[in-house]
Amino acid sequence: MNKESVNNQIIISIKNLCKHFPVKNVWGTDVALVKALDGVDLEIESGKTFGIVGESGCGKTTLMRTLLRLVEPTSGSVVLSEEITKNQFLSNSLEELTSEELRSFRRQIGVVFQDPMGALNPRMLIKDIVSEPLVIHGKTKEIREKVISLLNNVGLGEEHMYRYPHEFSGGQRQRIVIARALALDPKILVLDEPTSALDVSVQAQILNLLNDLQKKYELTYIFISHDLSVIEYMCDRLAVMYLGKVVEEADTEELFSNPQHPYTKALLSATPNFEKHKEKIMILGDVPSPITYLDQTKAELATEITEQERLEIKTIEGKGIDYIVRSSLNEVLPLKEVGTSHYARVK
Ligand SMILES: Nc1ncnc2c1ncn2[C@@H]1O[C@H](COP(=O)(O)OP(=O)(O)O)[C@@H](O)[C@H]1O
Ligand SMILES: [Mg+2]
């Protein structure tokens, strides 16, 4: 079958999703909000890899945790396709699922986080780690065969079953995490910085393994990374996040060849091997605080150009480098269509 006819189906739609964490003073009164996620809309296409890129603290993990309902969103919704609900749920809105339906939804999403050591219980044997989801969901029939086949899938084998996580290298541990994530035959894998803790050579092996598994099981990937070269290699489409918002979204090739938002341009210009993007753009200042003060005077103070930014502007002036002051990125413009399925928050 031709690939186009199988895909082009939306498996999950995220609509205006917000997660605001309250900041309290010592008396327990709310004084500010951390807008970790601030109105995110995304459509995830079935069988493809959707990338989410952005600096540390921009809300990537919160997006995933909210999607998995590990945290309750402040507002917004997640709409599931028939591929997930199989028409057996009473509702296709994630927030309206019964606890039984939520369990079934979670079975369909495997999760791989950055730190494989943290994800693996050091006192459990590999066979128990990989079979744990099967046991929890009562699928214990032929469990030994299933574990062996899961390990084979990720390039490990029967000989690894009776070992502990510390006996493995970082890359092998991530393979174990991937084997476990696939235990319940999920449709979607959420990969949150899956290779960030690994050496570059090992990174490539894990990325290739993920590509092979995607083909074999027609998986949909939601792939989070702060590393643009990894994102370019892995993703069909991607969203660039900044302070809880998507500032640009497009197919990978389009985004890399024709970036529109100043933040995307700056990210690309900071990546060593993108000569094709010749403009040199520097981002000045630290990542601004995602805190929004409820007190208006404090809120205004927080968006002024800082002394440090003034100094940085002085040092690069006249050196042929364009610059972006962080606080200027805080201006919120609506997402505008700037090309074929290419959106950016630009004037
Ligand atoms: N449970 C929480 N309580 C308060 N603030 C949080 C919580 N979780 C995340 N945050 C804040 O939300 C913002 C986004 O965090 P996160 O989603 O972890 O970003 P990323 O994964 O992109 O590094 C950060 O400013 C972080 O400090
Ligand atoms: Mg994170």
Measured CA to CA in angstroms, residue 121 lies from 172, 177, 332 at distances of 15, 11, 43
Most informative mutation of 20, 21, 224 for ligand 1 (most atoms within 8 A of CB): 21
Q: Which atom of ligand 1 is nearest to the CA of 226?
A: 22
Instruction: Indicate if the pLDDT at residue 298 is higher than 80.
Output: no
Quick count: other Cβ atoms within 10 Å of Cβ 77?
15
Chain Cα centroid distance, residue 88: 28
Measured CA to CA in angstroms, residue 185 lies from 25, 26, 42, 119, 219 at distances of 45, 47, 24, 19, 9
Ligand closest to CA 35: 1
Ligand closest to CA 63: 1
Average confidence (pLDDT) over 323-341: 84
Please tell me the residue having the least CA distance from ligand 1 atom 25. 57
Distance, CA of 77 to CA of 67 (rounded, Å): 9
What does the pLDDT look like over 180-227, one tens digit per residue? 999 999 999 999 999 988 998 899 999 999 999 999 999 999 999 999
Sorting pLDDT into bands at 50, 70 and 90, what band is 4?
Answer: very low
Q: Which two tokens stand for residue 101?
A: 């339906």
Average confidence (pLDDT) over 289-311: 68
Residue with tokens 């050091």: 122
Task: Using the mean position of ligand 2's atoms as its centre, give its distance from the Cα of residue 170 in Å.
Answer: 19
Q: What is the DSSP letter of 330?
A: G
Q: Which atom of ligand 1 is nearest to the CA of 290?
A: 25
| Contacts within 8 Å (CB) and 24+ apart, 252-256 | 252/51, 254/339, 254/340, 254/341, 254/342, 255/342, 256/232
Instruction: Indicate if the pLDDT at residue 273 is higher than 90.
Output: no
Surrounding residues of ion ligand 2, Cβ less than 5 A: 60-61
Residue with tokens 């609900």: 85
Sorting pLDDT into bands at 50, 70 and 90, what band is 147?
Answer: very high
| pLDDT attached to residue 204 | 94
Please tell me the residue having the least CA distance from ligand 1 atom 5. 21
Q: Which two tokens stand for residue 130?
A: 């990989």
Strand pairing report for 220-225 and 245-251: unpaired
Q: Which atom of ligand 1 is nearest to the CA of 56?
A: 23
3: Cβ contacts below 8 Å, ≥ 6 apart: none
Distance, CA of 205 to CA of 195 (rounded, Å): 10
Q: Which atom of ligand 1 is nearest to the CA of 291?
A: 25
Write out residues with Cβ below 6 Å of ligand 1. 21, 34, 36, 54, 56-62, 290
pTM for this prediction: 0.89
Q: Which two tokens stand for residue 83?
A: 């591929």
Task: Using the mean position of ligand 2's atoms as its centre, give its distance from the Cα of residue 60 in Å.
Answer: 5
Residue with tokens 């660039």: 240
Most informative mutation of 31, 37, 55, 62 for ligand 1 (most atoms within 8 A of CB): 62
Encoded amino acid at 332, one letter: V
Task: Using the mean position of ligand 2's atoms as its centre, give its distance from the Cα of residue 218 in Å.
Answer: 26
Contact 309, 325 (CB under 8 A): yes
Between residues 287 and 256, the one the model is more confident about? 256
Longest dimension (CA), the chain: 70
Please tell me the residue having the least CA distance from ligand 1 atom 4. 21
Task: Using the mean position of ligand 1's atoms as its centre, give its distance from the Cα of residue 62 in Å.
Answer: 6
Q: Which two tokens stand for residue 53?
A: 């890129």
Average confidence (pLDDT) over 11-22: 95
294: Cβ contacts below 8 Å, ≥ 6 apart: 30, 31, 32, 33
Measured CA to CA in angstroms, residue 188 lies from 15, 55, 109 at distances of 18, 24, 5
What does the pLDDT look like over 106-136, one tens digit per residue? 999 999 988 777 789 999 999 999 999 999 9
Closest CA to 51 of 178, 174, 179, 190: 190
